[in-house]
Amino acid sequence: MPSPERGGASALDVLIVSLGSTGGLRVADAQLAESMRRAGASVSVAAPASPSRRLRTLALVDLAWARAVRRAAVLELARLRPRAVIYSSTTAALLWPRVGAIRFDATSAGNRPGRHGLWQRPVERLRLGEASLLLPWSDAAMLEAPVSARRGDRVLVLPVAVESSAPGPSAVRSASGPGARDIAAVTYAANPSKKGLDRVLAAWRRVRVDPEELVIAGVSAQELRRSGFLRAGEPGVRVVGPLETRDYRALLRRARVFVCAPRREDYGIAQLEALADGCLLVSTPAAGPYAALPIARALDPRLVADDLAVALRCALDDPAAGYAEHALEALLPFGREAVDRLVADELLPRLLA
């Protein structure tokens, strides 16, 4: 999709104004940019500097990020003069300098209750109403948006692409035979309290059988000991800390089960990646637009339960036949080809109309 000429130079098609406060958001922005480039559009990403001060409330944290995003957006808008702008998250759009589309995994209306979203919720409601296009990661994310924001034909569900990191038979190899999965369970706990790591550990302590091992990724052992989540020298638990994407996905390919107990899940990229890499997903039900939850229930309802210990033992001792293969089928709408078709056939024509 070629850009029109402006003053003798090619104008940028799309500027993605990134929030980038988490690894998942950064991956989503990079994926979207590459997908639009594959469709022929010119794309740039404006990334803010992370606020340096530690702030005590979520309301102040969001304000600091929104101000940082605005500074980055103003500079890039003046320099690049894009035809269209996508703000990545409702937080990135709160103080926007120019109207654009908003892509989001969740809304402040959903994940900033009470005083945590005192100023964000009313401003978000205004921005969602003004946006040229709304790009929720899931249908469930849109359901948490104010009713007034759902009017008209402005909504296009645009998931984050998730695929197996090892295409072919190795992605779904079993727990026995050559290349067997040698790790009983993995969990991702970059935000231990929100991810419910205390509940995961409590369940693991109840049902672990020697020599089974739970591997915790995304957070350091020092932080877990300091915050009281982990006992020193606890048997059957290994903490590997934050990992590069390649190393983390390799870990998933060795695990039989991915276990989690989130108190709220705004999307659940880690769970989708685990399914893509052949893990059984054991989870408690959770509030929020948890994209993997209906998939996990359809694959094996025994593994989605408030009694996490029972579900975990069930997954380890009695895995459903064909689970990994069925998971890959369920993830086809999240594949790169499916997302690329959405971007080329629906997003760019509407965004650049």
Nearest to 137 by CA among 150, 152, 156, 120: 156
CB atoms within 10 A of CB 316: 20
Q: What is the pTM of this model?
A: 0.91
Confidence at residue 50, expressed as pLDDT on a 0 to 100 scale: 85
Q: What span, in angstroms and rounded, lies between the C-alpha atoms of 290 and 281?
A: 13
Q: Based on the domain organization, do 323 and 216 belong to the same domain?
A: yes
Do 206 and 148 share a domain, yes or no? no
Provide the 10 A C-beta neighbour count for residue 113.
11
Query: Which residue, among 287, 344, 349, 342, has the nearest Cα to 157 in the 3D structure?
Result: 342
Q: Are residues 247 and 153 in the same domain?
A: no
Are residues 273 and 208 located together in one domain of the fold? yes
Same domain, 185 and 248: yes
The confidence score (pLDDT) of residue 186 equals 98
Q: How many domains does the chain have?
A: 2
Same domain, 200 and 148: no
Nearest CA to 44 out of 68, 70, 18 is that of 18
CA distance 180 to 217: 21
Q: What is the pLDDT of residue 149?
A: 83
Which CATH number characterizes residue 148's domain?
A: 3.40.50.2000
**Encoding tokens for residue 151?**
């009017």
What gap in Å lies between CA 337 and CA 330, rounded to an integer?
Answer: 14
- Give the pLDDT score at 168: 57
Co-location of 320 and 343 in the same domain = no
> Is 211 found in the same domain as 267?
yes
Mean pLDDT by groups of 10 residues along the chain of 353 residues: 46 95 91 98 95 84 96 97 97 98 95 93 96 96 87 89 77 52 96 96 97 97 94 92 95 98 95 98 97 98 98 98 97 97 98 92
Whether residue 219 is found in the same domain as residue 307: yes
Co-location of 114 and 196 in the same domain: no
State how far the Cα of 37 lies from the Cα of 31, in Å rounded to an integer: 10
Using only C-alpha atoms, what is the Rg of the chain?
21
pLDDT score, position 150: 78
Q: Is the peptide bond before 211 cis (omega within 30 degrees of 0)?
A: yes
Phi, psi of 217, rounded to the nearest 5 degrees: -115, 160
Q: Are residue 322 and residue 340 in the same domain, yes or no?
A: no
pLDDT value, residue 171: 52
In the prediction, which pLDDT does 99 show?
98
Question: DSSP readout, 125-171?
Answer: HHHHHH-S-EEESSHHHHHTS-GGGG-SS-B---PPP---SS-SGGG
Task: Give SS3 for 19.
Answer: coil
CA distance 243 to 229: 20
Specify the 3-state DSSP secondary structure of 102. strand
Domain that holds residue 240: 169-332
Residues 181 and 32 both lie in one domain: no
CA dist., res. 139 & res. 106, Å (int): 10
Q: Is the dihedral of CA 304, 310, 315, 318 positive or negative?
A: negative
What pLDDT is stored for residue 209 in this prediction?
Answer: 97
Query: Burial code of 226-247, b = ≥16 C-beta within 10 A, e = fewer?
Result: eeebbeeebeebebbeeeeeee
CB 38 within 8 A of CB 32: no
Strand partners, 155: 134
